[in-house]
Amino acid sequence: MLGAWLCAPTGLVFGGGGWFWVWWRWFGWFGVVMDVRGGVEWGGQWGLVGGIFGLGVLVMVGGRMGVFPDERGRFGDFGGMFVPETLMAAVAELDDAYNGVKGSEGFQGRLAGLLASYVGRPTPLYYAENLSRHLGGARIYLKREDLAHTGAHKINNALGQALLAQSMGKRRIIAETGAGQHGVAAATACAMLGLECIVYMGEEDIRRQSLNVYRMRLLEAEVVSVTSGTRTLKDAINEAIRDWVTNVETTHYLIGSVVGPHPYPVMVRDFQCVIGWEARAQILAAEGRLPDYVMACVGGGSNAIGTFHPFVGDEDVRLVGLEAGGKGLESGEHSATLTAGRPGVLHGAMTYLLQDADGQVSPAHSISAGLDYPGVGPEHSYLKDSGRAEYREVTDGQALEGFHLLCRTEGIIPALESAHAVYGAAQLAPALGGDAVILVCLSGRGDKDIGIVAGAEDVEI
Amino acid sequence: MGRERIERMFAGVRERERPGLIVFLTAGFPDMEATLELVPALVAAGADAVELGVPFSDPLAEGPTIQQSSFLALQNGVTTADCLQAAETLRPLIPDAPLVLMGYYNPVFSYGVAPFAARCRSAGVDGIIAVDLPGAESGPLAAQCQSRDISLIPLLAPTSTAASIAESCRAASGFVYCVSVTGVTGARTEVSGRGLELVGRVRAHTALPLAVGFGISAPEHVAEVGSVADAAVVGSALVRVMLDSPRDQLVERASAFVASLAGRTPQPAPGQYIPGQYTSEASR
């Protein structure tokens, strides 16, 4: 692994076919380099660098040490490619295509340009001073993904995958959606890039999220109502996979979360890591140090992985995912997959699952349609089992508390999904000292949820 | 018996004019008593082997027909253990016809891969098809099957690469299942040319018998498949007949359909299921 770059004290450098993170100053003539092509790997590829006169020569010594995922798409026991044989060639083709663009300056440059000018990145890191003061304790920072174009983090991934599909010559895009946020993001990216877009959405979710359905139709996507099974997100994914099996040669399946067969979990993570990399630099600028806690809500888990991943190597930073506790774990009506599920195989990956004793997948429940999924990204399963991240549940009622708290103290209406993370932080902050710092990913804005909140509180609008 | 029963069946098929006929039906649809009556009757009507579908909540490779039968079976409370129990009940009733369980990996994984294979062996199951378990992920189940002489039957598709065909054929036993279309299960009006082409590509890699399935729904399809492969698999078309039949005519109509596929007139079943003989795992 060889490359050359201008000698900055610390930062991202380009060389050897991708981006590397370098700590330079600490070692004088020699520095430490870490391979972050496609994001930082937990215990990933490290090496030494040397340099002369401000020009560096990058030499990677040392080998791959427990790089996840491995070439079979495994994060420890989790992940993999559990798909019908018909899709194996497509999954392999996607893996090749993605590996091809990962280190391509042309592709990454185009994506970075669109993220800046079209999505509005970098999104701000906001010090929620009123909320922090109100709670009394830790300083809470919000990573404002709600300010991204379309109102949620989903666009980061949708744009990345749509560009990739375009480069693969696939002009027909299919997607699944629960709350409609990913469907809107996919429809947006397709409209902008001139691609055909078909969105599968459960009949039940279409009823709950009519605003987003209309947004997708305005963006000229075709919204297909799914009436099989439980008529929610899991069945929309089944139906999208059935379409993909049938039209695999012309169609790209634009999955909206870090779920599905390899390479989706790693690819979606890489596209979402922009959240964490920005937040890392922003918190260092604001506080001069890394946060004590990084918190995010977890359904499939894409905003959480995107936020967590750049901090995974920072052992002092605690990573906390907030799952939807629904009506409470004891009620059986929840989506707390990592807390209450056990490992199994769904939608192409080995991961924690809500399932009955016979291995039949159980219906999930949450007040927020975006968390209403009985599986979870395989990397979260790995982070849980390895102890690197912890996962807690927040009930529907607690999420509503978090929702109102943020409206009241900061004038920000969060998505109900993100309100789970806000509540998690609010619960934690008072117990921590005033020196503690919590970083919360505010994954989306709450306009889409106004009707649900009003309905839950018997308010007529 | 296991793999050997499958081999013997195909050896018999290769000695006669007519291609092999493998039928698929969802276990426990419309109820488990029906499955136990149907299977011996369908074998008597001309089916050479039976694939018993193990229902799963998320059957992502199935078209609407088998989605529906699977959903209804689950509504009846059918479990994986019930399917294995049904296989055990059926085994002596169809001594020569291979019995293959077909389903998805999660119920197997949940049951426990080794206990599942062991129970298949004790129940007299000869082969297993796991739809969402491609060669790259099949290692643990393949190892458990091999030591018990149960065939783990690979699926190959028109999109399969030469490398994956070679790899699957190398590891295969019993027979190789060629998926005739890029798509989900379901009756179609004609046999896909790509399916027939796939048979040629697979044949170049193995001497094992080849079965062709997905979309096969009529006697002329069976004959067409028979011109290149050893057997045809009929699933959705049979399940469709079952969905459309009143319960009291179910066995008769399904048998007549299978007899027409086999080019025969229905015969009385040699081993007949006596109602009440079966008890589900749950009720024991």
Cα–Cα dist A260/A273, whole Å: 18
Nearest by CB to A238, from B58, B106, B135: name it: B58
Q: Which residue has the tokens 């253990």?
A: B81
Strand, coil or helix: what is B281?
coil
Task: Kindly state the percentage of chain A with pLDDT values over 70.
Answer: 85
One of A368, A417, A443, A448 is an active-site residue; which one?
A443
Segment A46-85, tens digit of pLDDT: 455 544 444 444 444 333 434 689 888 999 999 999 999 9
CB A373 within 8 A of CB A329: no
Nearest by CB to A89, from B109, B132, B161: name it: B161
* Contact with chain B for residue A227, Cβ under 8 A: no
Residue range B242-246: mean pLDDT, rounded? 97
β-strand partners of A226: A202
Nearest CA in chain B to A353: B106
Q: Which residues of B76-102 are buried (b: 16+ CB within 10 A; e: fewer)?
A: eebbbbbbbbbbbbbbebbeebbbbbb
Element (H, E) at A182: helix A181-193
Q: Minimal Cα–Cα distance from B213 to chain A, Å? A: 13
* Contact with chain B for residue A224, Cβ under 8 A: no
Do A85 and B155 lie within an 8 Å CB cutoff? yes
One of A41, A176, A278, A417 is an active-site residue; which one?
A176
Amino acid B158: pLDDT: 94
* Contact with chain B for residue A240, Cβ under 8 A: no
Nearest CA in chain A to B282: A358
Residue A16 has pLDDT above 90, yes or no: no
The A55-59 sheet, strands edge to edge:
A2-6, A55-59, A46-52, A30-35, A18-23, A10-15
Q: B39 versus A28: which is more confidently predicted?
A: B39
Active site residue A154: yes
DSSP 8-class letter at B76: T
Q: Minimal Cα–Cα distance from A298 to chain B, Å? A: 22
* Contact with chain A for residue B57, Cβ under 8 A: yes
Task: Kindly state the percentage of chain A with pLDDT values over 90.
Answer: 79
Residues whose CB falls within 8 Å of the CB of residue A444, separated by 6 or more in sequence, listed in order: A145, A146, A151, A152, A153, A154, A181, A370, A414, A415, A417, A418
Amino acid A8: pLDDT: 45
Amino acid A222: pLDDT: 98
What average pLDDT is seen over chain A? 89
Cα–Cα dist A423/A406, whole Å: 9
* Contact with chain B for residue A267, Cβ under 8 A: no
Q: Minimal Cα–Cα distance from B36 to chain A, Å? A: 21
Q: How confident is the model at residue A317 (pLDDT cuts 50, 70, 90)?
A: very high
| Closest to B172 (Cα-Cα) out of B121, B206, B137 | B206
Segment A70-127, tens digit of pLDDT: 888 999 999 999 999 999 999 999 999 999 999 999 999 999 999 999 999 999 999 9
Residue B144 has pLDDT above 60, yes or no: yes
Nearest CA in chain A to B57: A360
Residue A177 has pLDDT above 60, yes or no: yes
Do B184 and A360 lie within an 8 Å CB cutoff? no
* Contact with chain B for residue A71, Cβ under 8 A: no
Segment B151-201, tens digit of pLDDT: 999 999 999 999 999 999 998 999 999 999 988 999 888 888 889 999 999
Do A88 and B134 lie within an 8 Å CB cutoff? yes
CB count within 10 Å of CB B162 equals: 10
Do B183 and A246 lie within an 8 Å CB cutoff? yes
Do B106 and A80 lie within an 8 Å CB cutoff? no
Q: Minimal Cα–Cα distance from B2 to chain A, Å? A: 24
Do B60 and A80 lie within an 8 Å CB cutoff? no
Q: Minimal Cα–Cα distance from B64 to chain A, Å? A: 9
Residue range A29-57: mean pLDDT, rounded? 48
Segment B15-72, tens digit of pLDDT: 998 999 999 999 999 999 999 999 999 999 999 999 999 999 999 999 999 999 999 9
| Closest to A310 (Cα-Cα) out of A268, A269, A257, A345 | A269
Residue B220 has pLDDT above 60, yes or no: yes
Amino acid A13: pLDDT: 53
Q: How confident is the model at residue A23 (pLDDT cuts 50, 70, 90)?
A: low
Amino acid A26: pLDDT: 41
Amino acid A2: pLDDT: 39
Q: B255 versus A11: which is more confidently predicted?
A: B255
Active site residue A443: yes
The CA–CA distances, whole Å, from A77 to A185, A274, A349, A441, B104 equal 31, 26, 10, 27, 19
Do B161 and A248 lie within an 8 Å CB cutoff? no
Do A90 and B159 lie within an 8 Å CB cutoff? yes
Segment A278-300, tens digit of pLDDT: 999 999 999 999 999 999 999 99
Strand, coil or helix: what is A368?
coil
Amino acid B19: pLDDT: 95
Q: A182 versus A32: which is more confidently predicted?
A: A182
What average pLDDT is seen over chain B? 93
Nearest by CB to A358, from B60, B79, B182: name it: B79
Q: How confident is the model at residue A4 (pLDDT cuts 50, 70, 90)?
A: very low
Q: How confident is the model at residue A7 (pLDDT cuts 50, 70, 90)?
A: very low
Amino acid B265: pLDDT: 66
CATH architecture of B2-276: Alpha-Beta Barrel (3.20)
